[in-house]
């Protein structure tokens, strides 16, 4: 009755309310999807960075072992005790130990990253629910008046 007094068509008003409601829901969905995508990209970049470091250490170790094997093939057991051969062997082992240490460090760091992301996504979930309730309330209010 109020709509008739205001010279407003109830069907148009309902369409306008529905359009606003759908817009709010799409916005909530878009924001949540963007936050989740950002979180996933962050994890992906973290893992790629660590894999690059692992590969770098492993390649260095491989280079030292190839040098060692090349000299060992040419000279045999006599050259195995030279300081150069010992150094290459030691450096190769050190690089492998660095990879092991880096793996432990990256596991701890990734666990922290996942924990933080879980808290952040739970917060975003609560925000999305709150915004959805607000959109529903606004829709109900719009329909009534």
28 Cβ contact list (under 8 Å, min separation 6): 128, 131, 132, 135
> Which residue did the predictor score with more confidence, 144 or 97?
97
Tell me what the pLDDT averaged over the chain comes to: 85
| Helix, coil or strand: residue 9 | coil
Strand ranges, E, within the chain: none
Within a 10 A sphere around the Cβ of 110, how many other Cβ atoms? 14
- Check the CA dihedral 38-41-47-53 and report its sign: negative
The pLDDT confidence band at residue 82, using thresholds 50, 70 and 90, is confident
Q: What is the mean pLDDT of residues 98-102?
A: 93
User: For position 5, what pLDDT does the model report?
Assistant: 31
pLDDT tens, 71-80? Answer: 888 887 777 7
How far is Cα 101 from Cα 69, in angstroms, rounded to an integer?
Answer: 26
Residue linked to tokens 């922290």: 112
For the chain, what's the residue count?
Answer: 145
Separation between Cα atoms, residue 79 and residue 92, nearest integer Å: 17
What pLDDT is stored for residue 8 in this prediction? 38
Q: Report domain extents, the chain.
A: 2-144
pTM, full prediction: 0.62
């Amino acid at each position: 009755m109020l709509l008739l007094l205001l010279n407003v068509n109830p069907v148009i008003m309902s369409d306008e309310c529905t359009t606003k409601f759908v817009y709010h829901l799409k916005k909530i969905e878009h924001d949540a999807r963007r936050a989740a995508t950002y979180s996933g990209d962050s994890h992906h970049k973290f893992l790629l960075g660590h894999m690059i470091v692992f590969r770098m250490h492993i390649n260095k170790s491989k280079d030292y072992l190839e040098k060692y094997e090349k000299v060992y093939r040419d000279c045999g057991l006599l050259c195995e005790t030279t300081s150069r051969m010992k150094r290459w062997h030691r450096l190769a082992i050190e690089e492998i130990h660095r990879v092991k240490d880096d793996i432990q460090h990256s596991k701890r760091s990734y666990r922290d990253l996942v924990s933080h992301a879980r808290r952040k996504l739970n917060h975003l979930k609560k925000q999305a629910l709150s915004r959805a309730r607000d959109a529903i309330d606004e829709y109900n209010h719009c329909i009534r008046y």
